[in-house]
Amino acid sequence: MDRNERALPLAGLRVVEFTHMVMGPAMGVILADLGAEVTKVEPVEGDNTRRLVGSGAGYFPMYNRNKRSLAIDLKSEAGRQVVRDLLADADVLIENFRGGAMEALGLGYEALAALNPRLIYCSGKGFLRGPYEHRTALDEVAQMMGGLAYMTGLPGRPMRAGASVIDVTGAMFGVIGVLAALAERERTGRGQALTTSLYETTAFLVGQHMAQYAVTGKPAPPMSERQSAWAVYDVFEAADGERVFAAVVSDTQWRKFCEAFGLDEFLADSSLARNTDRVRQRERTLPVIRARFQQLSQGALMAKLEEAGLPFAPIARPEDLFDDPHLNAEGGLIPVTLAEGRTARLPALPLAMNGHRFGLRHDLPGVGADGPAVLRAHGVSESAIEALIAAGVLHA
């Protein structure tokens, strides 16, 4: 643990989570990493996300650390009563199930606000209120209809981004809403319902391209055919066949770039002194720059770019990040235990407060592993817990 648990910013905040897949669990893990006490309510057989394969195999281990698992049968009245008792003194509820699912269980906002007026009830949905609000959505649905897939792909071939960026960003907006609602509750003493959504998150992210159209009157082309705002802003090949992204985004950087790579002819050419002029002359300058870069290995090229203080990046794959020296230096990767007992180091919150990163307080929970302890902490007797287990209502 990087910090004393009692010193974490959200220590003492009680969160009950009814979630699956990515958006809801991502809200929960952000709050949990920041110190909230997050209880994940799962079916007796466990969250289906635990059993996903392929591209979904990483969802559970990435977004469910620092939580406690309560596996309980919400189809039974006894199970629902246990959960209502938990929520009677909870601060926050998080859910991302289909519309109406929580209400059908008697766990909608209106019913719970009557039980606990201070409760902040955060829902992750596909859409906010409007003509689409009853549609079923996924991250990829939102990317397609929100213009992000168009901007990411090739012309005529829309492509979703290579991570669940809308699920995760939508979760971040949900957490922002929770924190804002907590601040408002300090003034009013009352909680509220709030919703974060996939489609509106996508629209917010592509808003820069909407604004570009509003300013220029020209549609933004896909990033694969983009008209760069800078003369040097591309992927280049090094002598060893490896590739490096490099950028020069100011006139000052241009001078440093030319000096670092011995491009004296460009430095002396006054027609290249301003970025707007360099952009118009890319066809003349880029072949020279590419040839110069191809004289150096990837390591030597990156060393020069770093020494000159210029933006650059190797073209990494996700699995390369396990061995990244920067991520491994200061708690950037958190060790968690996978279902089969192996350890994996996964990314921490991309946040430091007072120079401290947020680490692991509780490993990934087994199905229902914390159920009896959670109930004991709420005053449920051992005999009552044993009766719930015997009836198949509580998994332990």
Contact 333, 323 (CB under 8 A): no
CA distance 346 to 335: 6
Contact 217, 275 (CB under 8 A): no
What six digits make up the tokens of 99? 């519309």
CA distance 117 to 191: 6
Contact 166, 143 (CB under 8 A): yes
CA distance 307 to 312: 11
Give the DSSP H/E element, type plus range, for residue 278: helix 275-280
Q: Is 54 helix (H, G, I), strand (E, B) or coil?
A: helix
Strand partners, 124: 196
CA distance 92 to 193: 10
Strand partners, 37: 14
How many Å from the N-terminal Cα to the C-terminal Cα in the chain?
26
- What phi, psi does 242 have (nearest 5°)? -75, 160
Residue 27: which residues within 8 A CB-CB, separation 6 or more? 17, 19, 94, 96, 122, 124, 171, 174, 175, 178, 196
What six digits make up the tokens of 362? 């509780």
What six digits make up the tokens of 353? 């407060």
- What phi, psi does 69 have (nearest 5°)? -105, 125
Using alpha carbons, list the distances in angstroms from residue 173 to 177, 209, 237, 263, 273.
Answer: 6, 20, 38, 46, 42
Residue 362: which residues within 8 A CB-CB, separation 6 or more? 32, 65, 66, 67, 68
**Annotated catalytic residue 89:** no
Q: Which of 33, 91, 139, 167 is catalytic?
A: 167
Hey, which residues are catalytic here? 167
